[in-house]
Amino acid sequence: MVSQLVEDATSGNRRALARLFTLLERDDDTLAAIVRATHTHAGNAYTVGVTGPPGAGKSTLVDGLVRASRDEGLSVGVLAVDPTSPFSGGAVLGDRIRMQQHFLDRGVFIRSLATKGAHGGLSRVAWAAARLLDACGRDVVYVETVGVGQTELEVMRVADTVVVAVVPEAGDAVQAMKAGLMEIADVFVVNKADRSGADRMVSALRTMLEIGEHRPDWMPPVIASQAHRKLGIPELHDAIARHRESLQEGCGLSRRRGERLREEFTRTLAERIQSRLADATSPGGALADLAARVERGEVDPYTAAGQAMAEGIALGRFASLEDPCGIK
């Protein structure tokens, strides 16, 4: 089913694409099947992440960026990621309404992703969703988060360029630093720059960026904008393009994407091992007796763990190729 849908979606069938998005959020196996089927098609889209505290006007900024990309004749995908519960999704819905002007534009595909499942799950779904849009021929994918917690930082790892939006309120810069935004920002934008303190905010950010450790090949620019009046959008769009060029000149782009792929590989492997481990310690599993002895206090947890490893938890196979059975 997945492969047929992927074939249809990559040929431009929007209904198939929408169906795949629904499947993507269903479970990890289905997600894996979709990533697998789209793998060879993906790798052409450029992904821009937009994050920052609530109220920074991220949706309006993305709205402006979408328009700018469309003016260049590019097809666009937008992912709005909301890690809060579905019950508090009101604000997002309101923001989405502003995007409705793009709704009839077949060059723009908009989709919201809400949290499901375990820690790290949303970041995986966002990554797979961006790959899917990529495989279906979108030239640019914008990934927007609602807030700026740990989940959103993880989600931003999907992006080639990360835009951090703040407003000129006292404390916002400090919050941005605390939240770890200085480290992930490729471009800073001080939105609502008509408010007082905007200039000071811009220069404070520049100073912090200069003082802080920064990558040798890129100094994040700080742009002032008033997104609702469309001011600063061309400058922001341009800063993203310059960062993209900088990444492409070095090997930064393939490195970023490679790291993300590798991370997904090791995380998946760890999860699968974890699940085998849970099976093994459950009643009937091969480690059940040992786990029961630990539970009864007959052996301490660390001795038992050492025993389990020695008896052949057998990752030894990967530590040494000379040991093909993995028994140590």
For a copy of itself, the binding residues (CB under 8 A) are: 32-33, 35-36, 39, 43, 257-259, 261-262, 264-266, 268-270, 272-274, 276-281, 285-287, 290-291, 294-297, 299-305, 308-309, 311-321, 324-327
What residue type is assigned to position 271 of the chain? Answer: E
Could you tell me the smallest distance in angstroms from the CB atom of residue 222 to a copy of itself? 29
Q: Are 101 and 84 in contact (CB under 8 A)?
A: no
Could you tell me the smallest distance in angstroms from the CB atom of residue 314 to a copy of itself? 4
Q: Are 67 and 234 in contact (CB under 8 A)?
A: no
Could you tell me the smallest distance in angstroms from the CB atom of residue 265 to a copy of itself? 4
Q: What is the dihedral of CA 266, 267, 272, 277, to 10 degrees?
A: 100
Of the pair 60, 281, the CB lying nearest a copy of itself is at 281
Of the pair 96, 157, the CB lying nearest a copy of itself is at 157
Of the pair 73, 297, the CB lying nearest a copy of itself is at 297
Of the pair 134, 144, the CB lying nearest a copy of itself is at 134
Query: DSSP E strands: which ranges in 148-292?
Result: 161-166, 187-190, 222-224
Could you tell me the smallest distance in angstroms from the CB atom of residue 156 to a copy of itself? 19
CA distance 252 to 218: 11
Of the pair 215, 267, the CB lying nearest a copy of itself is at 267
Could you tell me the smallest distance in angstroms from the CB atom of residue 90 to a copy of itself? 20
Per DSSP, the residues of 134-203 read: HHTT-SEEEEEESS-SHHHHHHGGG-SEEEEEE-S-TTHHHHHHHTTHHHH-SEEEE-STTSTTHHHHHH
